Amino acid sequence: METVALDLIEQAKSTPSSEGNLGDLEDEECFFQDIALLLEHGVSIEDVRRLQDAGINTIKGVQMVIPKKMLEIEGLDVKKIEKIKEACTKLSFVNGFTTALDVDQRNQIFKLSTGSKKFDKLLYGGIESMAITEVFGEAGCGKTQLSHTLCVTAQMSGPNGYMGGKVIFIDTERTFRTDRLRSIAERFHLDGNTVLENILCARAYTSDHQYDLLKSVTGMLHKEAGVFKLLIVDSIIAHFRVDYYGRKEMAHRQHKLGQLMACLQKISEEYNIAVFITNQITSDLTNLEQGDAQRPVGGNILAHASTCRISLHKDVNERRMAKVYDSPYLASNEVLFTITNGGIDDVD
Ligand SMILES: Nc1ncnc2c1ncn2[C@@H]1O[C@H](COP(=O)(O)OP(=O)(O)O)[C@@H](O)[C@H]1O
Ligand SMILES: [Mg+2]
């Protein structure tokens, strides 16, 4: 085998690099299986490179892409794809199945605190990894403040051995504020500069740019395996509402939004990341009688892709409420919370 290929296999088997050294990475090592391991199963180095160029860096990543999509990668054909898929099956559990007890014991899901104990309780512990949590609500209800609070709490250790990690923040509404992060860090007695250093932020200028940024995120997550724990997109929808207009463009918009959500889903599961997105609302004139005249935008695409949907609301007395809107495992309760200089907090 060529030296380059041997080097790649060696790299794939060695510890993933980590500059920040946040937390114990041992568990993360078994979470990722580098795509270069395919070289040991007869897949050519050129084809491994083709997969990497398409943003597929792990064995799980291959399994999450359907053959039809893989055919779109230049240089791959049906025969090669079959070989790649077969190799991945050999490298993962037998036929991809495992006992529920194993699943339970390998469970590496962690939860990030919202900053409010009651809010965390509503979420059975907080914002979960390997899932997409969506919050929506009218302007000023606290979506961005919650995003900022999570940027800080994600860096702190938590229950079940969670050691904290770095954050990626994609800002689409120009509301990312370092001074808010400093105030929140101060509340938790953390050094402001260190907190800011552990957050990678990018401004997305269009919906297409937002998607391109996510593709680079995949590369970053792979390079620094286990270091990043939280990915925020605040908001997921703003550019889509501007870039696509009217009924005619709706199908196209939803298709693009679907692609973006699929990418987020893949990121959350492949790299055990908590994905947190914010969403806007629109008036629902069909629902006026039930007194619920506001619904999240993004239609079925967002509804199906988000694992857990939370609505935030500010009433006339400035009381803020968080309510579980849709979740596969949370009861549909609601809690009061407040926003302080130190971020999201409990009401006294
Ligand atoms: N330093 C602060 N202290 C207390 N409340 C704040 C502070 N900064 C912002 N807020 C509150 O947060 C609200 C804005 O919330 P934000 O999360 O930006 O809304 P959105 O849901 O539109 O993203 C403001 O109306 C204000 O009441
Ligand atoms: Mg906002």
Selected residue with higher pLDDT from 185 and 69: 185
**Relative to the CA of 140, which ligand 1 atom is closest?**
19
345 alpha carbon, closest ligand: 1
Least confident stretch, 17-26, 44-53, 75-84, 260-269: 17-26
User: Is it the case that residue 26 has pLDDT exceeding 60?
Assistant: no
User: Is it the case that residue 199 has pLDDT exceeding 70?
Assistant: yes
What pLDDT is attached to residue 195? 98
Q: In the chain, which segments carry CATH 1.10.150.20?
A: 1-13+30-91
Going by DSSP bridges, is the β-strand pair 166-171/228-234 parallel, antiparallel, or unpaired?
parallel
CA dihedral 16, 218, 227, 38 (to 10 degrees): -20
* The domain over range 1-13+30-91 is classified in CATH as 1.10.150.20: yes
Task: Give the rounded percent of residues in the chain with a pLDDT score beyond 90.
Answer: 67
The residues near 262 (Cβ < 8 Å, ≥ 6 apart) are: 305
What pLDDT is attached to residue 96? 66
User: Is it the case that residue 4 has pLDDT exceeding 80?
Assistant: no
What pLDDT is attached to residue 224? 85
User: Is it the case that residue 184 has pLDDT exceeding 90?
Assistant: yes
**Relative to the CA of 141, which ligand 1 atom is closest?**
21
User: Ligand 1 centre and the CA of 119: distance in Å?
Assistant: 17
**What residues are neighbours of ligand 2 (ion), with CB under 5 Å?**
143-144, 175
User: Ligand 2 centre and the CA of 39: distance in Å?
Assistant: 46
Mean pLDDT throughout 45-51? 94
User: Ligand 1 centre and the CA of 142: distance in Å?
Assistant: 5
Least confident stretch, 22-26, 89-93, 215-219, 234-238: 22-26
The residues near 323 (Cβ < 8 Å, ≥ 6 apart) are: 310, 311, 312, 313, 332, 333, 334
Length of the chain as a residue count = 348
Q: In the chain, which segments carry CATH 3.40.50.300?
A: 108-346
Mean pLDDT throughout 327-331? 93
Q: Determine the straight-line distance between the first and last CA of the chain, rounded to whole angstroms.
A: 66
* The domain over range 108-346 is classified in CATH as 2.70.150.10: no
Q: Return phi, psi of residue 295, to 5°.
A: -135, 155
148 alpha carbon, closest ligand: 1
Looking from the CA of 178 toward its CB, the CA atoms found within 13 Å total 12
Contact residues of ligand 1, CB 6 A cut-off? 137, 139-145, 175, 339-341
User: Is it the case that residue 218 has pLDDT exceeding 80?
Assistant: yes
Selected residue with higher pLDDT from 101 and 137: 137
The interaxial angle of helices 78-91 and 45-53, nearest 10 deg, is: 90
pTM of the model: 0.84
Which of the four pLDDT bands, split at 50, 70 and 90, describes residue 81? very high
User: Is it the case that residue 287 has pLDDT exceeding 60?
Assistant: no
Which of the four pLDDT bands, split at 50, 70 and 90, describes residue 31? low
Q: Which of 174, 179, 339, 347 to mutate to test the pocket of ligand 1 (most atoms within 8 A of CB)?
A: 339
Least confident stretch, 80-89, 224-233, 254-263, 279-288: 279-288
Helices within 160-249 (DSSP H only): 178-187, 192-197, 207-223, 238-243
**Nearest CA, atom 8, ligand 1:** 341
Reported in sequence order, the residue ranges of the chain that DSSP labels E, i.e. its strands, are: 111-112, 127-128, 131-136, 166-171, 199-203, 228-234, 274-279, 281-283, 294-296, 308-314, 320-326, 334-340, 343-345
Selected residue with higher pLDDT from 291 and 227: 227
User: Is it the case that residue 24 has pLDDT exceeding 50?
Assistant: no
Least confident stretch, 110-124, 271-285, 319-333: 271-285
CA dihedral 329, 334, 339, 342 (to 10 degrees): -40
- Give me the residue label for tokens 């297409």: 208
CA dist., res. 219 & res. 258, Å (int): 21
Is residue 90 classed as helix, strand or coil in its secondary structure? helix
User: Ligand 1 centre and the CA of 140: distance in Å?
Assistant: 6
Tokens of 102: 């194993």
Q: What sign does the dihedral 256-262-266-267 (CA atoms) show?
A: positive
**Residue 114: enclosing H or E segment and its boundaries?**
none
**Relative to the CA of 173, which ligand 1 atom is closest?**
23
User: Ligand 1 centre and the CA of 139: distance in Å?
Assistant: 9
Mean pLDDT of the chain: 88
**Relative to the CA of 235, which ligand 1 atom is closest?**
23
User: Ligand 1 centre and the CA of 335: distance in Å?
Assistant: 18
Cβ atoms of 50 and 72 closer than 8 Å: no
Mean pLDDT throughout 9-36? 55
Mean pLDDT throughout 191-210? 97
Which of the four pLDDT bands, split at 50, 70 and 90, describes residue 317? confident
Mean pLDDT throughout 54-79? 90
Mean pLDDT throughout 241-246? 91
**Relative to the CA of 234, which ligand 1 atom is closest?**
23
Cβ atoms of 169 and 234 closer than 8 Å: yes
Mean pLDDT throughout 115-120? 98
